[in-house]
């Protein structure tokens, strides 16, 4: 299934909502860079267990994650890229 | 990749000498300003490539200029062959025919003589 | 069996360089007979609008380049139906000579069928 990567905050860009349009059950969402600001306002059709975020980007921004989302490091990111297919970047 | 000349970005390496004026070309010999083209300029560009233009050459040059006018891009080899084939028939729409007219790299050399930019992704 | 590649075109034609760069990547691949499949989604559908007169902003026309796709061996484009509807557009406003347009109702499933996806 698809790995969706989003790097912009929902306040700046439509990338996350655009991604949600193409999100299918079994897909994974990974939030990186300013994409992690979306952790407090994720689209409803994306299940909690599908949501991953880069811990380094969350820590850097002082964001408190209250839900059971999965915080990952770069190594796990690479693993996800190998394990999911295709990988789609929603960077704008 | 803009067709519009961007004066400060275009590196003028040489000039093409015509009777009473000089025409700037880039370091690979492509016109810096597409509007500078004329049949005389084409002759000059061709002779710089060691090519003497015949009616067969002009037919391809005209096609290329029509192509650019329609699609705003210079075709690489495969699309050029396909386009020539659709316009002039399969006899002329062959790599070997174009190679004989515009050696050693037909898409590139013919675009240059036709006064167009270098074909996208022409290696 | 070679990899199936999707070019996901999501940007409008002139606001930034992404639409043009994507198109050039597609043309480069197609010239090597490695043409990707193109899916136009979100603001990317604006790339297809007829009657673009890009000269008025001193740019080359993205639409004109798209019209050359059939010569590059691409004779079918895919367009996200929902993206069209959301922008009050219809297929008639996008029609390209010699190229078929297929509307995609479920882009998620469509995307998932490819080995690689390039986002533009």
- Residues C9 and C113: their CA atoms lie apart, in Å, by 17
Helix (H, G, I), strand (E, B) or coil at C46: helix
Range of the domain at A49: 3-90
Structure confidence at residue B16 as a pLDDT band (50, 70, 90): confident
The beta strands (E) that lie in chain A are given as: 3-6, 28-31, 51-54, 70-72, 87-90
Subunits with at least 3 CB pairs below 8 A relative to chain B?
C
Q: Which CATH number goes with the domain that contains A78?
A: 3.40.1260.10
- Listed by number, the residues of chain C in 51-80 with a beta carbon closer than 8 Å to a beta carbon of chain A are 80
**Contact across the interface for C117 and A87, Cβ inside 8 Å:** yes
Global pTM?
0.84
Helix (H, G, I), strand (E, B) or coil at C11: coil
The answer to whether B12 contacts chain C (CB < 8 Å) is no
DSSP per-residue letters across B76-123: -HHHHHHHHHHHH-TTTSSHHHHHHHS-S-HHHHHHHHTTPPPPTT--
**Contact across the interface for C68 and B75, Cβ inside 8 Å:** yes
- Residues B53 and C55: their CA atoms lie apart, in Å, by 32
Residues of chain C with C-beta less than 8 angstroms from the C-beta of B86 = 71
The number of folded domains in chain A is 1
A31 DSSP β-pair partners: A6, A53
Whether pLDDT at B7 is above 50: no
Length in residues, chain B: 123
Structure confidence at residue B6 as a pLDDT band (50, 70, 90): very low
In eight-state DSSP terms, residue C96 is B
Q: What is the mean pLDDT of residues A66-83?
A: 96
Residue C89 near residue C66, CB atoms below 8 Å? no
Q: Who among C58, C59, C68 is closest to B73 (CB)?
A: C68
The answer to whether C68 contacts chain B (CB < 8 Å) is yes
Residues of chain C with C-beta less than 8 angstroms from the C-beta of A18 = 10, 41-42
Q: For chain B, give the mean pLDDT.
A: 88
Active site residues of B: 122
Instruction: Please report the ipTM that was assigned to this predicted complex.
Output: 0.85
B50 Cα to chain C: minimum distance (Å): 27
Which pair of tokens denotes residue C51?
A: 């009657």
Residue B1 has what pLDDT?
45
Residues of chain A with C-beta less than 8 angstroms from the C-beta of C10 = 18, 92
Residue C31 has what pLDDT?
86
B21 DSSP β-pair partners: B18
Residue C73 has what pLDDT?
92
Residue B18 has what pLDDT?
79
Residues of chain C with C-beta less than 8 angstroms from the C-beta of A1 = 112
Q: For chain A, give the mean pLDDT.
A: 95
Whether pLDDT at B122 is above 90: no
Region for residue B29 given its phi and psi (left: phi exceeds 0; alpha: psi -120 to 50; beta: otherwise): left
Per-position pLDDT tens, chain C of length 120: 578 999 999 999 998 999 999 999 999 999 888 999 999 999 999 999 998 999 889 899 999 999 999 999 999 999 999 999 999 999 999 999 999 999 999 999 999 999 999 999
Residue with tokens 């895919």, as numbered in its chain: C78
Q: Who among C32, C64, C73 is closest to B72 (CB)?
A: C64
Residue C32 has what pLDDT?
86
What is the C-alpha R_g of chain C?
14
């Amino acid at each position: 299934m698809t790995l969706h990567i989003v790097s912009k905050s929902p306040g700046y860009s439509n990338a996350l909502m655009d991604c949600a349009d193409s999100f299918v059950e079994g897909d994974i969402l990974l939030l990186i860079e300013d994409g992690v600001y979306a952790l407090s306002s994720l689209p409803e059709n994306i299940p909690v267990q599908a949501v991953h975020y880069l811990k380094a980007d969350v820590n850097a921004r002082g964001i408190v994650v209250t839900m059971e989302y999965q915080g990952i490091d770069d190594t796990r990111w690479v693993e996800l890229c190998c394990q999911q297919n295709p990988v789609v970047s929603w960077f704008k | 990749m803009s067709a519009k000349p961007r004066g400060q970005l275009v590196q003028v390496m040489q000039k093409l000498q015509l009777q009473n004026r000089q025409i700037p070309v880039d370091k690979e010999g492509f016109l810096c300003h597409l509007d500078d083209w004329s049949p005389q300029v084409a002759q000059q560009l061709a002779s710089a490539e060691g090519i003497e233009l015949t009616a067969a050459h002009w037919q391809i040059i005209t096609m290329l200029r029509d192509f650019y006018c329609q699609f705003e891009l210079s075709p690489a080899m495969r699309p050029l062959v396909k386009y020539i084939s659709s316009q002039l028939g399969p006899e002329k729409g062959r790599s070997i025919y174009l190679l004989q007219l515009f050696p050693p790299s037909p898409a590139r050399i013919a675009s240059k003589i036709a006064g167009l930019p270098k074909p996208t992704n022409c290696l | 069996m070679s990899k199936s590649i999707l070019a996901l075109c999501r940007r409008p034609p002139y606001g930034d360089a992404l639409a043009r760069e994507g198109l050039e990547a597609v043309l480069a691949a197609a010239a090597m007979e490695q043409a990707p499949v193109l899916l136009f989604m979100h603001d990317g559908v604006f790339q297809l609008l007829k009657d673009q007169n890009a000269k008025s902003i001193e740019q080359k026309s993205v639409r004109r380049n798209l019209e050359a796709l059939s010569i590059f061996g691409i004779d079918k484009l895919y367009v996200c139906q929902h993206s069209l509807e959301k922008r009050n557009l219809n297929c008639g406003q996008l029609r390209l000579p010699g190229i078929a347009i297929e509307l995609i109702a479920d882009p998620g499933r469509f995307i998932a069928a490819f080995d690689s996806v390039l986002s533009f």
